[in-house]
Amino acid sequence: MQVISRKFRWFLLALTMGASTLVHAQGKLGFDRNDYPGDAALRAAKSRFAFTGYWLNNPPGETGNTWVGKRTTIRGMGYGFLILWNGKRDAQIKAAAKRGVKPEQLGKREGTAAVAAAKREGFPAGAVIFVDLEEGGRLLEEQRAYALGWTEAVAAAGYTPGAYCSGQPVDEGGGVHITTAEDISTWVKKLKLHEVVLWVCQYTCAPAGPAPGCVLNAPRLSDSGTPNATVWQFAQSPRRPENTASCAKTYATDGECYVPEMPGVHVDLNVSNSPDPSRGR
């Protein structure tokens, strides 16, 4: 019985170690950036990354989109996707309202356009399309109407709506803290809308936040601070000094995040438990 018990203990230990290894192995590293890095750079980085961002329209601050027409090439290299649509900011939503276009109407119009772009690029029905919501904190009424109009239009067209949004808590006073991700989830549940897949941005480094900085070992998705997140962007280029002072040394001296396989090409780093978070292959 002594021998059997010892063997059984070793068996339990092996199972525990195996489970830990499995959980760690599930974290897949990916990146996103505004500009397409080039075929050669992307091919070189495949040993590092499982998935990449893919813009359907002009990225923030850009006048063109260099990702258009690259899906087949990227898929051929074995990458998964984070499919992105650059959403409207609050000032743009308000400007449209002054022209007679209501926020929800604008969101539906853009959600429909996002689906049309996804189809042109060859992404399959059911793929997750993320609307890029750059402004954090609790959504203003017009922002919420736009965002949920967008997500509902995407769902109605046979694709899966997602949102790239802030997972960084904003202090509203009186002990109340809110993230954009929490706010979206609350309203989706309250209004009984289609589920929205969350890609959260939380790059505040310890001890104030969970982010490790510009590191190439994928952190655990569960450490993002958003329990229902599918993707966590944990490092951003350029870094924000007020959020990353404690991990500044993990970034380059110019404040950007680089990987050895793509010298001179700065990236944002992401982790997901899926090698293809948008199911875009």
Establish if 279 belongs to a structural domain: no
Give me the residues of the chain with pLDDT under 50, please: 1-25
Half-sphere exposure of 179 (CA within 13 A, CB side): 21
pLDDT of residue 2: 39
Establish if 217 belongs to a structural domain: yes
Establish if 13 belongs to a structural domain: no
Establish if 1 belongs to a structural domain: no
Establish if 70 belongs to a structural domain: yes
Q: What is the pTM of this model?
A: 0.90
Establish if 15 belongs to a structural domain: no
pLDDT of residue 49: 98
pLDDT of residue 57: 99
**Domain that includes residue 252, residue range:** 28-272
Establish if 8 belongs to a structural domain: no
What CATH number is attached to the domain comprising 145? 3.20.20.80
Residue 138's CB is within 10 A of a number of other CB atoms, namely 15
Phi, psi of 79 (to 5 degrees): -75, 150
Establish if 139 belongs to a structural domain: yes
State the total domains in the chain.
Answer: 1
pLDDT of residue 26: 61
